[in-house]
Chain A
Amino acid sequence: MNNRTSTILTALNGVICGFFFIRLFFFPQTRTVRNDVVQGILIGGGLAFVTAQIYARIKATKVNGWITIFGSGVPGNGMLFRAACAQIFPGPVNVPQEAMYWTTSGDGAGHTLSGEHDYIMHFPPGGLPPNNAFWSLTMGDAQNRFVPNPINRYSVSDRSGLVPNADGSVDIYIQNTAPAGHESNWLPAPSGKFILWLRVYMPGAAILNGEYSVPPIVEV
């Protein structure tokens, strides 16, 4: 689910729950115990989703359009934080020391990523994600599925032979058609909307202490 859809759903959910909640107090109809129970369950459950979404947004870290949450999957996490983590990464996600994940559906300027445009992700010299295992940048379509492409390349990583620039920086070309002269650094995009995943396994200290900022996706 992308960010905007979940915002809309959360807001809708909140409005519906709020409406019934207020109606209950100001327009008391003939109430039955059955009504109390059914409405209590529905509104309580609905508000739980709203709370988890809001808490997830408070706890999530958003830098240059990239979203992550620190501290998922750690024993001892409180129930609200566990629900928030499940909002951002719905699955059995690693603890931060094992792996960090960032995702985005927008560029650094906040515009939705789409293969109608060409993008560059620029890592400054020495600015590739610090790690003791590996890092990767993986492409997904709007439904988070792999994207067919003529070179069967679904991600770029520390293992894909990226060619650095003369100054040691690294540019990744994220676009639908091959970038002439920069094929080695091409991450093929679909023709429509897409999302990106950045994975860093056994992340370095600069990531875990929050010093490292993932560079933005920039439209060219």
Chain B
Amino acid sequence: MTHMEHLLLFGLIMVAAWFLVTYFWPRMMLSVYKRGILVKGGGDGPIPVNTLYTEPQALFADPLHPPASASKLMTTGVNRDTLPTIGWLDLRKGPQILHVPDMAGRYYSVQFTDPSNNTNFAYVGKRTTGTEAGDYLITGPGWKGQIPSGMPHISSPNNSVLVLGRVLVESDSDVANAYDLSKQIKLTPLSDWQPGQ
């Protein structure tokens, strides 16, 4: 190969590497979250796919002493406002139904993030759907089937979804209430769904 050909090859590889790193950066970052959720968990072991986990009350009440077994992601950063609930969806196994309880005006949100590009394609919560109890169908790309009658439908662009819930804590004495409400945010596979449950 001539020197020019070597430079050309180098240049092409360099441009491709630049593009790939820039394009896949958010995906690489969220793959760390995926590992944190599915492998390490929040202190009580791994969080199974298609289930939600809420930060324990004790950790919120005493944030200085996180359990050693918790993923660093659960204890990194400073947040004294909302009790977080997290989970990782795999919609290849079929759609999921998200249930949220009546939050009685309290601020909360459930954020649905596409881990391929770290953008949020849907929200359930005070801002977007209000604070009344409700059920929401979440389906993966290309899903065809019967939507339960009257149920709002969230269509995900990706079979993998990062779910991040936040329920406002009003005061130190309100942590238990926020925890109770957070635990009522639940996922059920559509295949197990019974209307009126």
Contact = CB atoms under 8 A, between A and B. Distances in A.
B118 interface: yes
Interface residues of B, number: 52
Interface in A116-152: 132-134, 136, 138-140, 144-146, 148
B80 A136 contact: yes
Contacts of B164: 92
A205 interface: no
A57 interface: no
A121 B46 CA distance: 41
Given A92-B162, A148-B64, A51 B22 contact: yes
B10 interface: yes
B22 A79 contact: yes
B22 A52 contact: yes
Interface of A is mostly: mixed
B13 A45 contact: no
Nearest 8 CB-CB pairings of A with B: A40-B13, A44-B17, A48-B21, A44-B14, A31-B6, A155-B80, A44-B18, A133-B107
20 contacts: A33-B6, A36-B6, A36-B13, A44-B16, A45-B21, A47-B14, A73-B119, A74-B119, A75-B114, A79-B22, A82-B119, A91-B29, A91-B33, A92-B33, A92-B162, A98-B111, A133-B168, A136-B80, A199-B81, A202-B127
Interface of A: 24-25, 28, 31, 33, 35-37, 39-45, 47-49, 51-52, 73-77, 79-80, 82-83, 85-86, 90-95, 97-98, 132-134, 136, 138-140, 144-146, 148, 154-155, 157, 159, 197, 199, 201-202
